[in-house]
Chain A
Amino acid sequence: MGFFSKLFKGGEDPANTLVSPVDGKAVAISEVSDPTFSEEILGKGLAIKPSSNTVYSPCDGTIDLMFDTGHAVNLISDSGIEILIHIGLDTVSLKGKHFKTLKNTGDKVKKGDALIEFEREEIANEGFDTIIPIVICNSDSYSSIKPVTGVDVKKGDNILSLEK
């Protein structure tokens, strides 16, 4: 944790910090091989190459939309951050196969609550990229959005800080 405590030292506002929803490697959003994400059409953020199979809440907030296909979830943090977590690329076409939702639209969640289980190996075996983009849909509301990239992260590690 030395790296992270250094990176986020001093005055970090927990209400405007997201923690990792999954274990894996954090990479720049520009590395996602889907222009919808890499060109920031949906907003700024980062992506995690997962090494585990459950997505947890990155903040205290409300589930604005649990996609019925289970491949994505929208959350609004208690501080107003609009977050899309998208599990894998083009995985909407799996129509729910390999995904199990653990929460529903409208549910209040706490940081670290389990949201979705996904069968990472099976999704990869079907030819899908399992990378998980995490996007701030209201990026325009923030003057600064700073992700960590190029490092291994554990569920619950700080991965993104925002400033109004």
Chain B
Amino acid sequence: MKSFDYVIKDELGIHARPAGILVKKLAAVKSSVTIAVKAKDKSADAKRLMAVMKMAVKQGDTVTVTVEGEDEDAAVAEIEQFFKENF
């Protein structure tokens, strides 16, 4: 199991479009991916679009992304980079 924390920079947080591009990105990952905002006691399957939107992640939230599965080493680095570039 691998994970990283990331503070959301995007002023509008993870709304519909960003949730869509995240879920699309993760479709290529074999591992399971969970997104959590521990401060708000919320977590979701990051591959499920409605679940990610329901998190209503805001600017300034610290999200914890956890990756677990056969490709977790490569996937966690790639997903962290994706968060830095998009959120």
A interface residue numbers (CB < 8 A to B): 34, 36, 41-43, 64-65, 67-69, 72, 74, 76, 82, 84, 86, 92-93, 137-138
5 contacts between A and B (CB under 8 A): A64-B54, A82-B49, A84-B53, A92-B15, A92-B17
Chain B residues 7-32 with CB under 8 Å of chain A are 12, 15-17, 19-21, 24
B interface residue numbers (CB < 8 A to A): 12, 15-17, 19-21, 24, 49-50, 53-54, 56
Q: In the bound complex, what is the Cα–Cα distance between A43 and B48 (angstroms)?
A: 12
Looking at the assembled complex, report how far the CB atom of B10 sits from the nearest CB atom of chain A, in whole angstroms. 10
- Cross-chain contact A41 with B24 (CB below 8 angstroms): yes
Partner of B16, one of A76, A84, A138: A84
The interface residues of chain B lying within 8 Å CB-to-CB of A67 are 15-16, 56
Majority secondary structure of chain A interface residues (helix, strand, loop or mixed): mixed
Q: In the bound complex, what is the Cα–Cα distance between A69 and B12 (angstroms)?
A: 10
Partner of A82, one of B16, B19, B20, B50: B50
- Residue on B with the closest CB to A86? B16
- Cross-chain contact B50 with A76 (CB below 8 angstroms): yes
Looking at the assembled complex, report how far the CB atom of B76 sits from the nearest CB atom of chain A, in whole angstroms. 23
- Cross-chain contact B21 with A36 (CB below 8 angstroms): yes
